[in-house]
A and B are shown apart, each in its own frame.
Chain A
Amino acid sequence: MTSTYLPDKRTGPDIELPPPAVGAARGRTRRRLLHWVTAMGFQVPALVLFIGLVLLPMLFALYAAFFRWGGFGMPSDYVGVDNFTRLFDDPVFLGDLWRCLVLVVLSLALQLPFALAMAVLLNQRIRGRAVYRMLFFAPYILSEAITGVLFSMIFAPDDGLADHVLGSVGLGGLGGTWFADPSTVMATLFLVMMWKYFGFHMMLYLAGLQSIPAELTEAALIDGASAWQRFRNVTLPLLAPTLRISAFLSVIGSIQLFDLVWVITQGGPDHHSETMAVTMFQFGFKRYQVGYASAVSVVMFGISLVFALAYQRFVLRRDLEGATTTMRGGGK
């Protein structure tokens, strides 16, 4: 991009016009200038905000990651890549990466299929499906902090709702210390994540399912396809774009998970539920080692960026190509 004048704002026919006469060219230049001024007038406020509040802080974090810096004044103690070598020597951070992977895999393998199953179920004509849809979607609307406090109470050892319910149905032996046990904390946390977010994915799938023309399924039915075949060969392929987007959101969400963990466990017990974002917070705002915390955020950003780009390049490409929303679609 050589100028801030974004090419996609140009209208197609402008480019395709034949070479105009000299007088017309002057008029056109003036018109283009006016066009440019108008475009800039609309863009500048947003651009200034974006550069000032997003781009510059990001670049500054990248810069700060190479310093030992307590967060006050300007960074001056340059340490090269020390923060990064320390990071990849830190068992807690390596654990963060591992836990991130676990959450991603669990989300993809359990949460999304469950959401899909619920969506397919609630796409049938069943009594009260609107109520179910609303109920399952409701947790997503709840704030993370409230969810955290709520489940801290539910999974409180002995006194919590979970242990009471298990006890009253004769499964008291299954009750435990949930968040307080290093070996069960991640599983319990994932349960909460699933409860909170599956409704969102279910809604995405429902929207996707409703855009599938009924004729296709009917045609398959007439051809004698079984319910499974109709799902496998008609519904699923047509739902694929939605599935790909929802998987993308789920993975990015898992990489950046913070609020739930912070409210429920603060990363404990003994770092067993810590995520990259929690580590970053600990070092940045508790220990005032802002340089090191910046290094954590840079790695987090890097992972998200690489994943997002690769995913768009290899997985989302066919969804984006030819879609009405793409930039490339217009002229050609």
Chain B
Amino acid sequence: MGDPALSRRGFLAASAAAGVGMTALSGCGGDSDGGSSGGTTTIEWWNISTTEPAKGVWAALAKKFEAQNPDVKVKIVQLENDAYKSKMTTLIASGKLPDIFHTWGGGVLKQQVDAGLVEDLTDRTKPWADGLLKVAREPYLLDGKVYGIPFDIGMIGFWYNKALFKQAGVSTPPTTWSGFLDAVGKLKAKGITPIALAGKEKWPEMYYWAYLAMRTAGADALQKAYDDKDFTGADFVAAGKHLKDLVDLQPFQKGFLNAAYSTPTGQAATVGNGKAAMELMGQWAPSVQADAGKGLGDDLGFFPFPAVEGGKGTITEVFGGGGGHALRRDAPQAAVDFLKFFASEATDLELVKKTSALPVVPAAESAITDPNTKAVQAQLNRATGFQLYLDQAYAPAVGQEVNDSVSALIAGSKSPEQVAQSITQATKEEQ
């Protein structure tokens, strides 16, 4: 709404657009046969690609699909991330979902599936869906059934400053937790701040605990503990202790407890300006570093979260998530065709090239040019286990409690045992 003097025509257009949105909201289940009239089927596609370049690229893809399938019309409804989430909650209450809708998988998708609103795609997407990157499909597999098709995937790992590592005499990135603590010590000895952390926002702190829990207790443990409502196992306490070992080295930048993530003095900028040697962050880290700070260019490197000695997890298990599409129950065949089209090699190549998504079709990897993206992709390719972001895997109250408790551990006011207990209690309260 940047237009100060909204003209009459602009106003009419705006109300028309709002009208479309309203129709989409109220009437998406009205034509439950997919709106076939006069031989054409209209499928409604709700997504959250409201920013360029993805917005334009996606619209062009929809046109291309329409050209290939003359009897199908694709109606796109684009909503901003948070608006989408809240509209979906109302839609779920009403029991009617759009034909094709954005999903992150995990707990939220499971709720929708349990409510009987989502189409089981297991048979309808055979065999082409099996060819997609295994780790990317993981968030949408519930009880062995396919409920969604991915279009993007990413993961959390360490982004580090090669020059600063070299200066401290750390020649290769550490692969074990003790090696990692050693590297932190060496960086500190050279007067380099080892790690940048956004303590104000808490979720970047949670990554450490989540990864350590995966490494000590194994890749499936976090989901299992949530389902069993019990995080008090020795492995989870051990994860907290390992994190405490790191915190005791005081590796974070000055004032990290009130640092944000993407502001000019935040975590990403601190690394991007070369004031800290590394950060634990997702595949979007390089662009935020360059946006909030100067960016490191060729000095930037990526390494996976180290393994913990004696732990049940391995270094090849990843913590991450992506984006996908699910279909409403009894969605028309055209919607399935669209998913197939959207997960085709040709489409994925375009997405990777133009919107810097990570490929979900293995053959589309050739389109990656950036070495860091390649490193992330390589890690995803050989992933042996997967844990979805906790805020999508867990109910909001539990996800927030994890963030809050881990933050308290790092601030020194909760012990590893208390963290385990607090999260357990929040899980139990969530029924």
Chain A contact residues, CB within 8 Å of chain B: 72-73, 152-153, 156-160, 177-182, 185, 264-266, 268-271, 282, 286-289
Contact = CB atoms under 8 A, between A and B. Distances in A.
Which A-B residue pairs are the 7 nearest by beta carbons?
A157-B255, A269-B257, A180-B255, A270-B411, A180-B258, A287-B397, A177-B255
Given A72-B93, A179-B255, 20 more contacts: A72-B89, A152-B258, A153-B265, A156-B255, A156-B265, A157-B255, A158-B254, A158-B255, A159-B265, A177-B254, A177-B255, A178-B258, A180-B255, A180-B257, A181-B257, A269-B411, A286-B396, A287-B396, A288-B397, A289-B397
A239 B264 CA distance: 46
Nearest to B411: A270
B199 interface: yes
Contacts of B407: 268, 270
B88 to A, nearest CB: 11
12 contacts: A73-B93, A152-B263, A156-B255, A158-B254, A177-B257, A180-B257, A181-B255, A268-B199, A268-B258, A269-B200, A282-B400, A286-B400
Nearest to B407: A270
Interface in B227-273: 254-259, 263-265
Contacts of A158: 254-255
A181 B202 CA distance: 15
A178 B255 contact: yes
Contact of A269 (B258, B263, B264, B265): B258
Contacts of B201: 266
Nearest to B92: A72
A182 B255 contact: no
Interface in B155-204: 199-202
A132 B256 CA distance: 37
Count class of interface residues, chain B: 20 to 34
Given A177-B254, A181-B257, A287-B400, A266 B200 contact: yes
Nearest to A288: B396
A29 B256 CA distance: 74
A83 B134 CA distance: 44
B333 interface: no
B413 interface: yes
Interface in B2-23: none
B368 interface: no
A177 B411 CA distance: 14
Given A266-B200, A270-B411, A180 B259 contact: yes
B262 to A, nearest CB: 13
Contact of A157 (B93, B254, B397, B412): B254
B121 interface: no
Q: Give the one of A152, A157, A269, A271 with max B CB within 10 A.
A: A269
Contacts of A264: 258
Contact of B199 (A153, A178, A180, A271): A180
Contacts of B264: 153
Contacts of A269: 199-200, 257-258, 411
Contacts of B255: 156-158, 177-181
A275 B200 CA distance: 15
Contacts of A178: 255, 258
Nearest to A289: B397
B61 interface: no
Given A72-B93, A286-B400, A289-B397, A270 B258 contact: no
Interface in B73-101: 89-90, 93
Contacts of B117: none
A271 B265 CA distance: 21
Contacts of A177: 254-255, 257-258
Interface string B395-411: 01100110000011001
A156 B257 CA distance: 11
Interface in B374-431: 396-397, 400-401, 407-408, 411-413
A289 B413 CA distance: 24
Contacts of A266: 200-201
Contact of B413 (A73, A156, A270, A288): A270
A181 B90 CA distance: 41
A331 B311 CA distance: 84
A72 B93 CA distance: 8
Contacts of B199: 180, 268-269
Contacts of B265: 152-153, 156, 159-160
A278 B255 CA distance: 21
A264 B258 CA distance: 8
Given A73-B93, A159-B265, A177-B255, A265 B200 contact: yes
